[in-house]
Amino acid sequence: MLQGKVILDLTWVLGGPFAGQLLAQLGAEVVKVEPVGGDYARSVPPVSDAQDSPFFLSVNRGKRSVALDLKHPLGREAFQDLVREADAVIYGFASDVPARLGLDHATLAAINPRIVVGQLIGLDDQGPYAGAPAFDLMLQAMSGLMSITGEAGGKPVRVGYQVADLAGGLYLALGVAAGLAQAQATGIGERVQVSLFDAQMAMLTWQAQGYLQGGPAPRASGARHAMIAPSDIYRTSDGRWIALAPTGDAFWQALCAAIGLPGLAADARYATPAARVANVEALTEDLAGAIGRRTAQEWLDIFEARRVPAALVLGVDEALAHPLAASRGMVEAVARPQGGEPVRMLGNPFKFAGRPQLGYPPALGQDTEALLRGMAGYGDDRMAALQAAGVIRTGAAAAGAAR
C-alpha cells in the first residue's frame, strides 16, 4: 500500500487522471494540480448545475485539488515548494513542455532527490512523432488493435471504451509505484516514461509474438478466439447472446453433454483441441443450431448445473446491476460534499484489508490554501501575493467550481 506517499497529479482528461486515481486506490494521497481554469474534463457533457461531469468524476475520486498557474514564475515556485515535500509527480504534457516549465526530472530532482517523476506521452519524445497529436482512436488504429477488433472481413472497429488512454494510465501507475519502492529503498527517485503507443503494443502479447515467430498476421474474428475452439458467442431462442469458453477436454465434454449432443465429443472433427480449431466453422454451425433452441436463462441454468464456462452477454446497465458487482463492492454510493442524494460510482478493484474509501472528486482549487500552508509552509503574506498575482484559485473562488 502507498499510505503516506504524496503524489502531485498534473495530468488531465482521462489516461493520466486514471493513473492518479489508481494510486489513490492504492492508498496514496493524490493532489490534483490544475490550471486556474480547471481540468478540461470538468466541462465534458453532460454537465449541469445539479450534475458534475461523469467523465471527470470517473477518474478523480479521492483526490485533493490545488489550482496553480504553472506558466507564471510565482505559480512554478509554489509548485516547486510542494515538490520538496512530495514523493512523486505525474503529468501528461507534450514532450517539450516539462523542461520549458521546469517540470523535468532533472529540475525536480535537484529540488527533491527522492522525487519520482512519471510522464505519460502519446507516441514518442523525440524524432518526427515527438509533437504529433495522439488521441485514443489514433492509438487503437496505429497499434494494430483495430485490425483485430470487429467481425472477420468487416470494417475495423474501436474497442468500446478508451482502452489506449486507460492502458497507458495503468502502466503509468505501475511504473510510479515501482519508482516509489526504489526511492524508499535507496533515497533516490526515478524518471518513468510511458508512451500510449508502447502500452498498446505491449498489450498485443501473444498475437504479436505469434507473428514475430513466423505466424500469420492476426486478423479480426469477432468474438471467436483465434487459437481456442469453441470460444465464441451464440444466439439463444429469445435473441440474447451467450458466451461459451469450454477450454480443455473436460469442459468440452461437459458442454456436449449439456446441449444434448454427447456424440460431438467423439466426432473426429472435434476430438482434439487442434481439430476443433481446424474445423471451427462446422463446429460453430453445430453449436449455433443447438444453442438456438432454448432461451438464454434455460441455458444458463443448464450450464451452471454442469459447470460449463458460460456467461450472458450483458449491457453496461445490466453489468452494473449484477449481484456480483454489489458483492465485490464495485458500485458504491458516494456522498456529495454539497449534500443531496449520494452519487453511485465505480468501486476500488484493489482488495486490500484496509483499502481506502475514496471520497467524491474535489472542487477546483478546494485545497489550494490548505496545502500551500501545510506542505509549503506559506503564511498570510505569501498567500496574499499569490492571490494578487492571480496565479492560484482558493477557498470561496473555488466554491461551486467542480463543473
Extract the C-alpha cell encoding 155. 470494417
Cis upstream peptide for 273 (omega within 30°): no
Whether 225 is catalytic is yes
Catalytic residue, candidates 72, 105, 225, 322: 225
Cβ contacts of 180 within 8 Å, gap of 6 or more: 2, 5, 87, 88, 116
Q: What is the length of the chain?
A: 403
| CA–CA dist 307, 301 (Å, integer) | 10
- Give the DSSP per-residue string, 87-154: SEEEE---TTHHHHTT-SHHHHHHH-TT-EEEEEESS-SSGGGTT----HHHHHHHTSGGGGSSSTTS
State the CB neighbour count (10 A cutoff) for residue 181: 13
Sign of CA dihedral 37, 38, 39, 43: negative
**CA-based diameter of the chain, in Å?**
85
SS3 287: helix
Sign of CA dihedral 90, 96, 97, 99: positive
| CA–CA dist 290, 293 (Å, integer) | 6
| CA–CA dist 354, 369 (Å, integer) | 29
Residues classed as catalytic = 225
